Amino acid sequence: MKIAAIRSYHLRCSLQKPFGFSQWTYDQRNVLVIEVITDTGLSGWGECYGPADVTQAAVEHFYAPRIIGMHALSSEVIWQHMWRSSLDFARGGIMMGAMSGLDMALWDLKGKALNLSVSELMGGRQRQQIDCYATGMYFQDMNEQQLLSTLVAEAQAYACEGFKAMKIKIGKNLNFDKQLIKAMREALPNTTLMADSNHAYDLPEAISIGRVLDECQYHWFEEPLSPEHLRQFHSLHNKLDLAIATGECEQTRFGFDKLLTSGGVNIIQPDLAYCGGPSEALKIRAIASANGVNCIPHVWGTQLNLAAAVHFLATAYVEPGRAESQSLLLEYDRTENPLRDELYSTSIDIKHGVATVPDAAGLGVQIDPHTLEQFTIKRSETL
C-alpha cells in the first residue's frame, strides 16, 4: 500500500462574534486539513496547527513530493524521511506544523488499514472516557465591568452543562486579571480552575498573578511567561505552589527536552497538530515521564486534532501513579468554531463534560465532503 496522492484543504469561516486574548483578536477561523490517499483508494486525514496558507505551501511544494510512493503504513520511516529532508533549515516552526498534519493523517490511515483505533495502535487504552475542561472566557469588546460579569456568566453556563473543570483567559492587565481570578473562584467554589495568559507577563508580573492564583486554589498557571525565556520558569516555580504548564509553542522531543531540562515546568502541553504529530508526541511523552512530568495536549482547531488528543490521553499513564489516580484532562475549546462543529458527519462524543474514546478504526471522526467543499478556499493535490 503506497502513498498515491496528498491533498490539502485550506478551510476558512467568519465568526459572528470576534473574541480576543492577551495577544490579539480573532474574527475568523482558518485551518489546514490533509488527506493522504493510497493506491488502494484508502485515505487518512490529519490537521495542521499554524497559518494555514503558509503551511499549505510547505505540504504541497516540499513534503508531499518527497513522500509520494512511500509505503503508507511505515509512518516512522516517513517521519524520519521528512525530518532529514528539512533538518538543515527547518527544525521547527511552519515546516514542523506541516509534518504534524501529514503524520496525523498516516496514523488515521494505518488505523483504517488495520481496523484498529489510534489508541489501540498507541498501545491500548487506560480509560474509555476522559474528563474535559472547557476552554473559554475569552475577551470581548466591552467595558471591563461588563466583561467581568459576562465571563463569569459564561463559566457558570459551562458548569451547568456538566463541566467540572475549565480554563479562563488572563493577560489583559494585572488589575482586571486579579479581579477575574477571584470572581471566578467565588462563583465556582467547587470547580477545577486553570488560567492561561498566553505568555503575557514578565517575571515580576507572573509572580504577582501566580500568588493570586495560589490563594484562589487554581490547578495550573498556563503560559505565564514567554517561551523564549526558559530560565524564568524555574524562578517562577520557586515562588509559587500551583503547577506551571506550557509547551503549545514547542515542537519535537528535542525542544521539549530543553524545556524540561531548564526546570520549573510541571505539565507539558504539546499540540499534536504542531509538535511533530502523534509519532513525535509519543516520544515527547516518554521524555516527560522520565522527568516525572505529565503530558496533557493543547487542543485547538477541528475534530481531527481533538480526536488525536482523545486517543493520546486514552493511552496515557499519570506520573507518578497511585491507586486513586488524578484525571488527565482533555482541553475542549468552547468558542465559536463552525470548522469543528459543522464540518464533520462523525464527531467526538462529548456529553456533560466527558469525552468517549471512539471505537472506530483510525481517529474515529469523519469529514462531510459537501461541507468540506463549502469551507474550502484553496485546495492542492500532489500526485
Q: Strand 192-196 to strand 220-222: parallel, antiparallel, or no bridges (unpaired)?
A: parallel
Q: Angle 60-336-377 (CA atoms, 0-180°, nearest 5)?
A: 30
Strands (E), 256-339: 267-268, 294-295, 330-333
Cis ω for the linkage preceding 320 (within 30 of 0) = yes
Q: Kindly name the residue from 10, 199, 237, 298 that is annotated as catalytic.
A: 298
Cell of 295: 503530558
Sign of CA dihedral 183, 188, 193, 198: negative
CA gap 142, 145 in Å, rounded: 8
Contact 26, 122 (CB under 8 A): no
Write the single-letter amino acid at 218.
Y
Query: How many helices and strands, by DSSP H and E, does the chain display?
Result: 14, 16
CA gap 331, 250 in Å, rounded: 17
- Rounded to a whole number of angstroms, the distance between the first and last alpha carbons of the chain is 15
CA gap 261, 255 in Å, rounded: 10
What radius of gyration do the chain's Cα atoms show? Answer: 20
CA gap 97, 251 in Å, rounded: 9
Q: What single DSSP character describes residue 2? A: B
CA gap 263, 245 in Å, rounded: 12
Q: Cell 509520494, residue?
A: 68
Residue 229 annotated as catalytic: no
CA gap 39, 215 in Å, rounded: 59
> Catalytic residues, which ones?
298
